[in-house]
Chain A
Amino acid sequence: MTGTEASGDIDRNRAGVVTGRPSARDPRIGDRPPGLKGHASDFVLRLRSGELGWVPGVCAVIVIWTTFQLLDHHFLSPRNLSNLSVDIVGTGLIAVGLVFVLLLGEIDLSVGAVSGLAAAVFAVLNVNSGMPEWLAVATAALVGAGIGALQGFFFARIGVPAFVVTLAGLLVWNGLMLYVLGANGTINLHANGLVSVLTERYFHNRAVAYGLAAVGAAAYFLASYHDERRRRAARVSSRSLGEIAVRTGAVAVIGFAAAYVLNRFEGLPLALLIFLVSVVGLDFVLRRTRYGRKIFAIGGGAEAARLAGVNVVWIRVSAFAVSGTLAAFGGLFLASRVASVGQTSGSTNLLIDAIAAAVIGGVSLFGGRGTPWSALLGVLVVQSIASGMVLIGVQTSVQSMITGGVLLAAVVLDSLSRHSRKSHGVVL
Chain B
Amino acid sequence: MNVLEIRGLGVDYLSGSGAVHAVSGVSLDLRRGEILGLAGESGSGKSTLANAVARLLRPPASITSGSVVYRRQDGSAVDVLALGGNELRAFRWKELAVVFQSAMNSLNPVITVGAQIDDVLRVHAPRMSRNERTERSVELLQRVGISADRRRSYPHELSGGMRQRAAIAIALALNPEIIIMDEPTTALDVVVQRDILAEIRALREEYGFAVVFITHDLSLLMEISDRIAIMYAGRVVETGTAEALHRAPRHPYTLGLLRSFPRLRGPREELLGIPGVPPDLRSPPPGCAFHPRCAMAVAECSESLPVLRAEADGEVACLLDDGRGVS
* Chain A bound to chain B: no
* A contacts, CB < 8 Å to B: none
* B contacts, CB < 8 Å to A: none
